[in-house]
Amino acid sequence: MSKKINRATPILVTGGTGYLASWIIKLLLDEGLCVRATVRDKSNMEKNKHLIKLGDENKGSLELFEADLLEDGTFDKAMNDCELVFHTASPFKILGIKNPQKELIDPALKGTNNVLYSVNKTSSVKRVVMTSSTAAIYGDASETTNKPLDEKSWNTTSSIKNMPYLFSKRLAEEKAWEIVKSQNRWDLITMNPGQINGPSLSKRTDSTSIDFMLSMLNGKYKYGLPDLTYPLVDVRDVAKAHLLGAFTPNASGRHILAVDNPLSYLEIAKTLKDVYGDKYPVPTRNVPNIIMYLIAPFMKIKWSYLKNNLGIKPQVDNSYGKKDLDIRYMSAKKTILDHAEQIINDGLI
């Protein structure tokens, strides 16, 4: 369904303080557009100050609205008169989960429900661009070994008891496609990025993506890394893909976003080591798999996850996203080094 967005109308970005959302907002403001961003608390200057700075320093305009993923109708006011909605708000948490239903499933699923029901009530909306994940495409790297998975694939192996974050992403995206099919006024574009890295626009460290890079530099992994690889993509490219999906009238469907040759955790560490030497306690080896199995119970990681992911490079087919969005990706090396420089320059390490 071809949709041409009137750039003079306001554009809504949910979860505005987020790592990715902040970049989407910056790119929109760089183009001189009128942006509305939802935040949990407008009075929280610590979380919002980088957005306020973006609004002050760019040629576009930015207005903040309070909204809560779990409250019905909370997005209505911010969405009024918008033709385009970017829905990025969703929790990202892999470890340390005590109540997956409350921490992951409810905000991902109910949040998607609430945002899209507001879309159904807002007659001006023509297109929604939603941030999903390769987590909605597959659960374990072993699922991709026979052939690269593409946008037709869905993660059918994760559950609330087995990698609940991945499960939450599948549920949320499935719900979005279910809702869009119930009407014919607006269309849905989803972005399915792999592991997102790259420089942050804020100094916050409560993002899983930021914590990963901090851990590479601060000694958390100095005794070794698990032998893992995930599809990798730069946050700036993911933000750019969202805009391309929004403003390309004939764009459609799901889009796997990932570089052609992802780096393993150890290859990421080597990239950092080659530049920074011994300045930071960057890991230099993998933890032996047998040790990973021994410590897994203490980290609440299942042996089945280790069996299906250790030492396996996942294969995903990113060709549709390249074709539909005409996007080209930064190198994984540039992503990693730019991310590290941002962390160092911001005094986070």
> Angle 209-212-217 (CA atoms, 0-180°, nearest 5)?
135
Beta bridge mates, 190:
130, 254
In 58-125, alpha helices (H): 76-79, 100, 106-121
Instruction: Report the distance separating Cα 316 and Cα 195, nearest Å.
Output: 12
Q: Is 164 exposed, middle or buried (0-12, 13-18, 19+ CB in 10 A)?
A: buried
Neighbouring residues of 161: CB distance < 8 A, sequence distance ≥ 6:
100
Tell me the backbone φ, ψ of residue 186, rounded to 5 degrees: -120, 155
Hey, what are 268's tokens?
């990421």
Cα–Cα distances (Å) from 170 to 13, 105, 116, 154, 346, in that order, read 21, 10, 16, 7, 34
For helices 265-276 and 208-218, the axis angle rounded to 10 degrees is 50
Measuring CA to CA, which residue among 68, 164, 51 is closest to residue 118? 68
Measuring CA to CA, which residue among 123, 148, 125, 127 is closest to residue 138? 148
Note every long-range contact of 153-161, with CB atoms under 8 Å and residues 24 or more positions apart, other chains counting.
160/100, 160/101, 160/105, 161/100
In 16-80, alpha helices (H): 19-30, 45-57, 76-79
Q: Count CB-CB contacts under 10 A for residue 220.
A: 14
Q: Which residues are identified as catalytic?
A: 169
The helix or strand, by DSSP H or E, that contains position 255, with its residue range, turns out to be strand 253-257
